[in-house]
């Protein structure tokens, strides 16, 4: 049984562990790397989650398969573009793929963003015919802009996608 919920401030260590696992499992899917993130001090991880969970601009979420954390997503309202939100760090553990965890995370993040007035939600995805790309397309995301390198030094390419709501959502 898949469920999702916001990450609590005290759950920085499980967040760190899942994020590092994601970076190791799918290095082609993220702008950051395991090597860069693994060097961060515990205080940095704790501060990141505490800051995100104490404000109104971020929603980091866990997905659970029964009681085991099996995925995550981070949704953030833009500080500079009213009505825009961004999705980052979407990942589902290989053992939980195909069970609806990605969809559940994405649906909750989109509902949160739209409930806070976001008419446009953007994300970046590795440019490929992948389950991630198909999931985003199924939820109304469309490619925008040019395909660009995933990160400096990478041969992989990334595509920005966005989902635009036709009607403004009241805050």
Please give the average per-residue pLDDT across 51-71, as a whole number: 95
Closest by CA to 104, choosing from 128, 76, 70, is: 70
Q: How far apart are CA 124 and CA 114, in angstroms?
A: 19
pLDDT value, residue 162: 96
pLDDT value, residue 158: 85
pTM: 0.90
The answer to whether residue 77 sits within a structural domain is yes
The answer to whether residue 169 sits within a structural domain is no
pLDDT value, residue 171: 38
Q: How far apart are CA 158 and CA 67, in angstroms?
A: 33
The answer to whether residue 171 sits within a structural domain is no
3-state SS class at 138: helix
Query: What's the N-to-C CA distance of the chain in angstroms?
Result: 31
The answer to whether residue 159 sits within a structural domain is yes
Residue 76 belongs to what domain range? 2-164
Cβ neighbours of residue 71 under 8 Å, at least 6 residues apart? 18, 62, 63, 90, 91, 92, 93, 96, 101, 102, 105
Q: How far apart are CA 132 and CA 139, in angstroms?
A: 11
Q: What is the CATH number of the domain that holds 131?
A: 3.40.630.30
pLDDT value, residue 150: 75
The answer to whether residue 65 sits within a structural domain is yes
How many domains is the chain partitioned into structurally? Answer: 1
The answer to whether residue 33 sits within a structural domain is yes
The answer to whether residue 42 sits within a structural domain is yes
The answer to whether residue 170 sits within a structural domain is no
Dump pLDDT digits (tens) for 48-60. 999 999 999 999 9
């Amino acid at each position: 049984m898949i469920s999702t919920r916001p990450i609590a401030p005290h759950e920085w260590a499980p967040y760190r562990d899942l994020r590092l696992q994601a970076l190791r499992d799918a290095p082609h899917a993220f702008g950051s790397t395991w090597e860069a993130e693994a060097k961060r001090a515990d205080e940095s991880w704790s501060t990141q989650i505490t800051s995100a969970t104490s404000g109104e601009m971020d929603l980091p979420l866990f997905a659970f398969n029964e009681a085991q954390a099996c995925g995550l997503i981070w949704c953030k309202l833009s500080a500079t573009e009213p009505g825009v939100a961004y999705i980052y760090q979407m990942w589902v553990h290989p053992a939980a793929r195909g069970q609806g965890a990605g969809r559940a995370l994405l649906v909750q993040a989109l509902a949160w963003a739209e409930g806070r007035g976001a008419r446009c939600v953007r994300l970046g995805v590795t440019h490929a015919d992948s389950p991630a790309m198909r999931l985003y397309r199924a939820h109304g995301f469309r490619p925008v802009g040019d395909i660009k390198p995933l990160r400096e030094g990478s041969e992989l390419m990334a595509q920005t996608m966005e989902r635009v709501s036709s009607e403004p959502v009241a805050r």
